[in-house]
């Protein structure tokens, strides 16, 4: 089976109903832990492991603040301070999507400088449970 490549332009990110103008995103990455069960009888003097639990890691994005940035900042800071779990939806331009729940661990506004510069921010979240992937 051949999977066709597609452009990331047009990808949208929604956090708890708030849509962002994302510049870049890092999607969750599934990892399985390894449990060391090495013992004095382990064969060939080698470590032994059994499969541990799955973890989806972190999600992060850099984004531009739109015109309603004060309201968006207040909403995200409230979410961060109150430990709210949010629904995250990444929708790709080919129609596919990734959906997961998580809580915000970082929300920052980048340095603002003189000149032709847009105000940018960064959001990072810890993913809870398994993300759901929907193909195009």
Q: What's the N-to-C CA distance of the chain in angstroms? A: 15
The pLDDT of residue 3 is above 70: no
pLDDT digits (tens, 9 = 90+) for 62-116: 988 766 566 666 777 787 787 889 999 999 998 899 999 999 999 888 877 677 7
Q: Are 95 and 127 in contact (CB under 8 A)?
A: no
Among 20, 10, 11, which residue's Cα sits nearest to residue 107?
Answer: 20
Q: What is the pLDDT of residue 79?
A: 78
- Pairwise CA distance, residues 115 & 3, whole Å: 43
Share the mean pLDDT of the chain: 87
Rg of the chain in Å (alpha carbons): 19
Mean pLDDT, residues 30-55 = 97
Task: Point out the least confidently predicted range of 11-20, 31-40, 55-64, 110-119.
Answer: 110-119
Global pTM? 0.80
Confidence of residue 59 (pLDDT cuts 50, 70, 90): very high
- Pairwise CA distance, residues 120 & 118, whole Å: 6
Q: 100: which residues sit within 8 A by CB, 6+ positions away?
A: 28, 56, 59, 87, 88, 127, 128, 129, 130, 131, 132
Helix (H) or strand (E) holding 78: helix 69-82
């Amino acid at each position: 089976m051949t999977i066709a490549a597609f452009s990331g332009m047009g990808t949208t990110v929604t956090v708890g109903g708030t849509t962002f103008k994302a510049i870049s995103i890092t999607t969750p990455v599934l990892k399985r832990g390894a449990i060391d069960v090495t013992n004095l009888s382990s064969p060939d003097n080698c470590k032994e492991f059994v499969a541990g639990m799955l973890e989806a890691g972190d999600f992060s994005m850099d984004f531009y603040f739109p015109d309603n940035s004060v309201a968006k900042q207040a909403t995200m800071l409230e979410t961060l301070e109150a430990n709210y779990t949010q629904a995250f939806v990444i929708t790709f331009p080919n129609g596919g999507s990734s959906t997961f729940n998580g809580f915000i661990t970082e929300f920052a506004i980048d340095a603002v400088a003189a000149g032709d510069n847009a105000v940018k921010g960064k959001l990072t979240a810890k993913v809870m449970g398994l993300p759901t992937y929907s193909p195009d």
